[in-house]
Amino acid sequence: MVLFVNKTKDIRDKSVRFTKPKMLVLAICALVSFASFIGNASANSRIKDIAAFEGVRDNILIGYGLVVGLKGTGDSLDSMAFTKESLTSMLERLGVNVRDGKVDTDNVAAVMVTATLPAFSRQGNRIDVTVSAMGDADSLLGGTLLVTPLMGADGEVYAVAQGQVAVGGFEAKGQAQTITKGVPTSGRIANGAIIEREIPFSLQQMDSLKLSLRNPDFTTSSRVAEAINAFLGTTSAKALDPATIDMSIPEKYRSNVVNLMTDIEQLRVEPDQLAKVVIDEQSGIIVIGQNVRIDDVAIAQGNLTIKVTETPQVSQPAPFSQTGETTTVPRTDIQVDEGADKKLNVVQGGVNLQELVDGLNSLGVGPRDMISILQSIKSAGALQADIQVM
């Protein structure tokens, strides 16, 4: 609610004087309008949360190395040839010749080292690495990763890792029992790798930006372009497809593209959702989208259950009897449940998500039966949504 007051009039004029009750009503209306505005704004999502700028991305690094210092929980060199060869090659590079002798130790383990190189990482910065055993090592607890180059998909070395491996799990063995907690053959080194090579990428030399939606949708893509154009006051943004929005950099942002990206990230857009039901048959998980609707449909659920119980009894002659023999007499009890207490329920058309869930729960069925019911409703043409089975 907006109130315009003529500034040329004296505030003491009766024509613009407000009594306390009127001022209270106006204040309440203003608060209600403000709360409604805040509620609508909070229902929307920032562009930062639903889209990413093309080119601003992470890169995956991988390397092969050795973990030493294990307390008898490393690889068996007799059966792990790659561990023995790696240890021998490493010692030779350090000036130790072990080719003619026998190397027999269980304190070394061959590992794969993985890391993620964030966007705009600079030389000298540190990143976390994950260390995972490759051979038959029992645990990496207490081990130290030796110098390991980490390469990208192009084969170039971008970081070098080394450090103490932190393992969250453990394993304790005895003659009759073994206790294992977590995964002792995998660990992590916080800030364990130093970046040696940067990935060249300059924002200032770009003439346009592209935004990529994390959940592609035609409506959402169009709304993002409209929100950007409304903020900039131009028509520089346009939706190319359900996942991509192309935007020309305005002249006033040419010298500072970072400010443009910051301003666009904070714009709020209401993303549209496809009516979809996602079903995971292995775990029995059902996820129903907000826009799922159904037409009038009658649902009945019941199972034919046959329970067969065998309780054999032993029949034997009387004590000191000269005739008869001990024998087993079968006793079988069969119970049939035809689901006579199950009733036919009617689910009204146009119901929302909560009403749909309440209607299915009223039938007293579990997740497995709900999956069959939803698929049957879809087959009947009453479910206005897409069913995705994982």
| pLDDT attached to residue 338 | 52
Average model confidence (pLDDT) across the chain: 79
CB 208 within 8 A of CB 249: yes
Amino acid of residue 140 = L
User: Residue 81 in 3-state DSSP?
Assistant: helix
Please tell me the pTM assigned to this model: 0.65
Q: 284 is written with which tokens?
A: 């029995």
Query: Position of tokens 């660990």?
Result: 187
CB 266 within 8 A of CB 275: no
Over the stretch 221-277, which tens digit does the pLDDT of each residue have? Answer: 999 999 999 999 989 899 999 999 999 998 888 888 889 999 999 999 999 888 888
Over the stretch 57-82, which tens digit does the pLDDT of each residue have? Answer: 899 999 999 999 998 899 998 888 89
Distances (CA, A) of 14 to 9, 11, 189: 10, 8, 75
Burial of 237 (0-12, 13-18, 19+ CB in 10 A): buried
Return the bridge partners of 59, or none.
117
- Return d(Cα 231, Cα 267) in angstroms, integer: 8
Amino acid of residue 236 = S
| pLDDT attached to residue 382 | 78
Q: 359 is written with which tokens?
A: 């209607």
Under-50 pLDDT residues of the chain: 1-42, 304, 344
Amino acid of residue 127 = I
CB 279 within 8 A of CB 374: yes
